[in-house]
Amino acid sequence: MLDVLAGGGHLDVDEITRQVRDRLDSVSTQAVYDVLGALTRSGLARRIEPAGHPARFEARTGDNHHHVVCRGCGAIDDVDCAVHYTPCLTPSKSHGFILDEAEVTYWGLCPKCQEVTED
């Protein structure tokens, strides 16, 4: 399953299951969920859940990057974290939390969906 995730992209459970079955012939959907849960808890995979879309998983972990999501087709891509002065990533009040990560999701239309709306 790590090989599937390492292949890149932001894959949902159905796509991961399909790719694992292509390699192993037989694997239950529950086994895929169980392994993804273990990989996520151990920090070897990252789960992202864009609003209105199924959970996706990726192998890129440990670098606090963000995502851009297409409102049209749901395509997802990585956006490297902003550096230097970033006021939107520094909360005005922490409410007693020890903060260790900020998650930003950018929304818009990917190039393919832009072409469709222009036609």
Give the pLDDT confidence of 76-114 residue by residue, as tens digits: 999 987 776 666 777 788 899 988 777 889 999 999 999
pLDDT of residue 85: 67
Max distance between CA atoms of the chain, in angstroms, equals: 52
Per the prediction, the chain carries an average pLDDT of: 90
Confirm or deny that 81 is annotated as ligand binding: no
pTM: predicted TM-score of the whole model, two decimal places: 0.82
pLDDT bin (cut points 50, 70, 90) of residue 40 is very high
Nearest to 39, CA basis, from 73, 86, 2, 79: 2
Structure tokens given for 56: 């996706």
- 88 annotated as a binding-site residue: no
CATH code of the domain occupying 1-62: 1.10.10.10
In the chain, which residues fall in CATH 3.30.1490.190?
63-119
According to CATH, the topology of domain 63-119 is Dna Ligase; domain 1 (3.30.1490)
Residue 34, SS3 per DSSP:
helix
Which residues in the chain are classed under CATH 1.10.10.10? 1-62
Residues 64-80: pLDDT tens digits? 788 999 999 999 999 98
Instruction: Name the phi and psi angles at 97, rounded to 5.
Output: -75, 150
Residue 73 marked ligand-binding: yes
11-15, 59-63, 85-89: least confident range: 85-89
Dihedral (Cα; 15, 53, 38, 59), 10-degree rounding: 70
